[in-house]
């Protein structure tokens, strides 16, 4: 049964998105809210709408203060949809407004990001970072995923999709997450306090966790020391999960085989940083989920959540306010 006709504020405005790759991203939510009997508000270009919006959808990251201002200008707003999974910059605002339903894009981009993580994993195991710059034949080296042992930090959509892909190679997977619930597809699930315990013996350590107070710096000098010298480390979560100085030193000392990452701390990684010159490091510039990949996936999430709101059903991607993701 339909319970409301949504008045949707979409930010950034059409004028702000004009000429960008996100310009078309407004069309999907506009069509969806119209189909459920609602309307888009704030089409006059006002960054805060016309004061009677009931919901706010973000299509790109915008400053926290702009979100706060939009909420102040539209006191009826009781749902906010973020366009990303990592909401660490917005956590204080989220926690200060418990009366609002907050949803993120967590799980939405799992297929492309997990695919990217798998690409990094295979590239590291086959020594591709060294080979792409080689000018001579070199040694015959490489390691197969078949029958390997992997540790995956995270239990959300990206982690689950990555585990599903690994199973094509009969990989033994230990998942590490904040809660004790089993991660689908994993052979073993342990809580984050046991992360150090499961690192020895892993061929692959993949990070897909959100950035929280508990996960910042979770891979530091101690964890890199616990990993096997032949292990590879992959990060598609957040740069702050890894101590950049520690991983730089570990690679230089041969403590781990290689490091592949789509995220860095700081981000972007400055020109001239030692990691750029490290032959066993593969860095991609936060391209595991490009706009071309993300816009259709985010559009589908927004459409489903608008339909759920209209019909009084639970929304997808509810933010864990306590956990901060």
CA 67, CA 132: separation in Å to the nearest integer?
44
User: Which residues contact residue 205 at a Cβ distance below 8 angstroms, ignoring those fewer than 6 apart?
Assistant: 150, 151, 153, 199, 219, 227, 231, 232, 233, 234
242 bridge partner residues: 219
Is residue 148 within 8 Å of 170, Cβ to Cβ?
A: no
Neighbours of 198 (CB within 10 A): 18
CA 125, CA 143: separation in Å to the nearest integer?
5
Q: Is 267 a catalytic residue?
A: yes
Element (H, E) at 103: strand 101-103
What is the C-alpha end-to-end distance of the chain, expressed in Å?
A: 30
Residue 210, classified by CB atoms within 10 Å of its CB into exposed (0-12), middle (13-18) or buried (19+), is buried
Helices and strands in the chain: count of H runs, count of E runs: 12, 12
Q: Which one of the listed residues 238, 257, 301, 309 is annotated catalytic?
A: 238
Q: Which one of the listed residues 4, 267, 278, 304 is annotated catalytic?
A: 267
Q: Which one of the listed residues 4, 286, 303, 304 is annotated catalytic?
A: 286
Which residue, among 170, 244, 168, 166, has the nearest Cα to 205 in the 3D structure?
A: 166
Q: Is 238 a catalytic residue?
A: yes
CA 233, CA 202: separation in Å to the nearest integer?
10
Residue 102, classified by CB atoms within 10 Å of its CB into exposed (0-12), middle (13-18) or buried (19+), is buried
Q: Is 172 a catalytic residue?
A: no
Active site residues: 238, 267, 286
């Amino acid at each position: 049964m339909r319970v409301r006709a949504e008045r949707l504020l979409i930010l950034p405005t059409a004028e702000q998105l004009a000429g960008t790759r996100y310009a078309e991203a407004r069309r999907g939510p506009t069509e969806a809210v119209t189909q459920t009997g609602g309307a888009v508000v704030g089409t006059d270009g006002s960054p805060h709408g016309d004061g009677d919006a009931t919901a706010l959808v973000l299509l790109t990251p915008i400053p926290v203060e702009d979100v706060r201002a939009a909420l102040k200008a539209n006191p009826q707003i009781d749902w906010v949809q973020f366009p990303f999974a990592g909401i660490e910059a917005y956590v204080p605002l989220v926690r200060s407004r418990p009366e609002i339903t907050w949803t993120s894009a967590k799980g939405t981009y799992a297929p492309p990001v997990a695919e990217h993580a798998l690409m990094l994993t295979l590239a590291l195991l086959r020594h591709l970072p060294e080979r792409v710059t080689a000018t001579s034949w070199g040694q015959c080296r490489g390691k197969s995923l078949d029958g390997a042992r992997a540790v995956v930090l995270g239990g959300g959509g990206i982690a689950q999709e990555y585990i599903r892909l690994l199973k094509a190679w009969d990989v033994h997977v230990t998942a590490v997450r904040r809660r004790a619930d089993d991660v689908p597809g994993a052979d073993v699930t342990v809580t984050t306090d046991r992360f150090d315990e499961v690192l020895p013996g892993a061929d692959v350590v993949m990070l897909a966790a959100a950035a929280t107070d508990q996960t910042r710096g979770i891979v530091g000098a101690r964890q890199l020391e616990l990993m096997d010298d032949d292990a590879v480390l992959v990060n598609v979560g957040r740069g702050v999960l890894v101590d950049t100085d520690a991983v730089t030193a570990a690679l230089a000392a041969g403590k781990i085989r290689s490091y592949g990452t789509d995220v860095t701390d700081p981000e972007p990684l400055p020109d001239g940083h030692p990691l750029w010159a490290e032959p066993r490091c593969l860095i991609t510039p936060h391209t595991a989920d490009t706009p071309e990949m993300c816009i259709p996936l985010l559009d589908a999430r927004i459409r489903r959540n608008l339909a759920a709101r209209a019909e009084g059903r639970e929304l997808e991607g509810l933010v864990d306010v306590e956990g901060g993701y």
